[in-house]
Amino acid sequence: MKIFSFKKSTEIISNWFFFILFAVALGAAVIVIVNVANVSVAEASKIPKGIEEELILISRFYYSENCFAYQDGVGRVHTGVIDSDKFEQANMDDKCFKCFPENNVRYAYQLSLEQSPSGSFGTASIKTSNWEEGSYAAKEMAEDVLVFYEGKKHNGKLRIKIQNVE
């Protein structure tokens, strides 16, 4: 064979042990990196038990036309925009309004809509019918929202207190 008559080709064959060890080390490093990355992604994507339904119910208050989201004359729902005319305790208590489903709900909410720094509208506070007065709120959140008031959109803050009701 003429391949072994050249010195360059025999030099590569003489280092075969190094190349085998390099391939094994490279394969092991790739396996370790892939396993560590999968564990990190799996841990980061876990949702704590029960929080998904809590957050879904919260977003319902300002995303659904059945709750307080502004719906224009054409019928479009402006998500993240609260209609100040709808934000009333009577609407929260109304069974036909269908804002808050009371069947099998483990949470109670108290909502406070605060005025913008310019003071365009007042502060309103409402609560779900299963809110227990005198009991402490387990969590409190604040969302920056737009408020449709007197034909214009204004900046506002929606404060949400959450109680665990079982």
pLDDT in tens, 5-41: 666 666 666 777 888 899 999 999 999 988 877 766 5
Interaxial angle between packed helices 7-14 and 16-44, expressed in degrees from 0 to 180 and rounded to the nearest 10: 50
Based on the fold, state whether residues 78 and 157 are members of the same structural domain. yes
DSSP code, position 5: G
Based on the fold, state whether residues 12 and 64 are members of the same structural domain. no
- 96: tokens are 């036909």
Number of folded domains that form the chain? 2
- State the average pLDDT over residues 116-139: 73
Based on the fold, state whether residues 151 and 92 are members of the same structural domain. yes
| Whole-Å CA distances, 64 to 25, 139, 158 | 56, 22, 15
Record the pTM: 0.59
- State the average pLDDT over residues 38-54: 62
Based on the fold, state whether residues 75 and 36 are members of the same structural domain. no
Q: Which domain, by its residues, includes 9?
A: 3-44
- 112: tokens are 């406070």
Instruction: Give the integer Cα–Cα distance in Å for 45 and 52.
Output: 12
Based on the fold, state whether residues 98 and 146 are members of the same structural domain. yes
pLDDT given at position 64: 81
